[in-house]
Structure 1
Amino acid sequence: MKVRTQYLVAALLVAVAFGVSVFFYPQMPDRMATHWTTSGDADGTMGKLWGAFLLPTVTAVLLALFAVIPRIDPLDENISVFRKQYALFVVLFVAFMLYVHSFVILWNLGYRFDFTTVLAPAIGALFYFIGVLMNRVERNWFVGVRTPWTLSNDEVWKNTHSRAGPLFKLAGLVAIVGVFVPTYAIYLMVVPAVGIAIYLTVYSYVEYRRVTV
């Protein structure tokens, strides 16, 4: 699939999100549930207009930002190397936002479920593809593990992302396990991601010291 086609698919998904909001808007309560606790229970509301259209609007803005990034990055020639994988990530991210938005609408239509648990497979899939992307990404200012040390040295960038790829794939698989153990779903999604972020930051520093000193 060509990059332009991938962005058109992402734009179509955004249009679907707006369409869902428009179609179900008359059935939405005056105060819509828009925030859930870690146990999956609603604990925050928002006015009907913003509740129905906030996520599609945020997604549209992010899609525009994702489209601009390859054009404004000082290392845009490096992004061109993994442009197809980057565009596929954009499609998957927009699909993820549509997935979340759909469950927000369903909840406000009266359906009940553990919100954290239904997010687990989608977050797991997103993490897994981030792992795939990490194995292809070249040094740039917007995508990947961007620490002062990875951005300063190509070898440190490459070595850090070689570590990041398998770790994010593993985090994706762990997050999916949350579907089967709802009590721990939030921890299976958050703890590995935080741990990986800390580890990669420290690793990039240590690797930079090894390569340059």
Structure 2
Amino acid sequence: MKTTLRNELWLVAIVAIPFIYLIVIWNALPENVPVHWNLEGEIDRYGSRATLWMIPILLPLLTYLTFLFAPLMDKKGHLGKMGANYNRLKFSVVLFTAVLASYILFAAREQTMSLPSMIPGLIGLLFAVLGNYFPVLKQNIYIGIKTPWTLKSEMVWDKTHRLAGRYWFFGGLIIVVSSLFLDHSMTVTVLLVVTTVIAIVPIVYSYISYKKTVDKIE
């Protein structure tokens, strides 16, 4: 895996977008801004505009730093074996979080979420992107389906992530399609159901797969 200054500068620029946008709109924001929306996309809580800084910090910046330092802390060098796939995954997820953060800031400025299903749709798109990369994700303690069983066995890790990849990819597509054709409350319901399924199934599968592996050894 090769990290170049040029690639990092592009990512830093993407991370900076929601920060710059917030600076530009800062004087136009009231002291109290929307900080939470209900399932219908309606504002149900307000807070200080200063709390908006947490959005770009916790989304694109934290995501970028996690991807940047994870390979350095991966003593076994598994993430490095992913080569260009790791850089593509990093770029995709950082770009997603920057877009999501910018949209949330836009909604706070407008005092309304004009496209309430956009956030579930973006989350579904992220699931699909992650699912596409899960099969090539190498065993590590930072990114992926990290259960006691996947961390104990590289074979279980690989099998679990191949399965999870399919579930996350198609689950994400289902959410995206729902966001385009269903109302917001139904889209949120689909999001919650799909998220539950794609989270639980790989965990259960990793346990079953590990038990089968142990039984064969014994």
Change (3 A) 1:68 1:126: same
Is residue 33–residue 109 contact of structure 2 (8 Å, CA) maintained in 1? Answer: no
Is residue 175–residue 188 contact of structure 1 (8 Å, CA) maintained in 2? Answer: yes
- Deviation track 1:35-74 (CA, whole Å, cap 9, x = no partner) reads 11122111122212222x2212223233223211111123
Is 1:73 equivalent to 2:74 in the alignment? yes
Equivalent in the alignment of 1:184 = 186
Give the letter aligned to residue 11 of structure 1. Answer: V
Pairwise CA distance, 1:114: 5.2
Is residue 135–residue 162 contact of structure 1 (8 Å, CA) maintained in 2? Answer: yes
Equivalent in the alignment of 1:55 = 55
Pairwise CA distance, 1:92: 2.3
| Cα distance in structure 2, aligned partners of 1:131 and 1:3 | 23
**Alignment partner of 2:168: what SS?**
helix
Pairwise CA distance, 1:22: 0.7
Pairwise CA distance, 1:208: 0.9
| Cα distance in structure 1, aligned partners of 2:132 and 2:55 | 26
**Alignment partner of 1:175: what SS?**
helix
Question: What TM-score results when the alignment is normalised by the length of structure 1?
Answer: 0.89
Equivalent in the alignment of 2:142 = 142
Equivalent in the alignment of 1:11 = 12
| Cα distance in structure 2, aligned partners of 1:86 and 1:36 | 34
Which structure 1 residue ranges, 5 or more long, are not aligned? none
Pairwise CA distance, 1:111: 6.1
Equivalent in the alignment of 1:198 = 200
Is residue 140–residue 151 contact of structure 1 (8 Å, CA) maintained in 2? Answer: yes
Question: What TM-score results when the alignment is normalised by the length of structure 2?
Answer: 0.87
Pairwise CA distance, 1:83: 4.2
| Cα distance in structure 1, aligned partners of 2:157 and 2:138 | 8
| 4+ long deviations beyond 4 Å | none
Change (3 A) 1:136 1:35: same
**Alignment partner of 2:34: what SS?**
strand
Identity across aligned pairs (percent)? 23
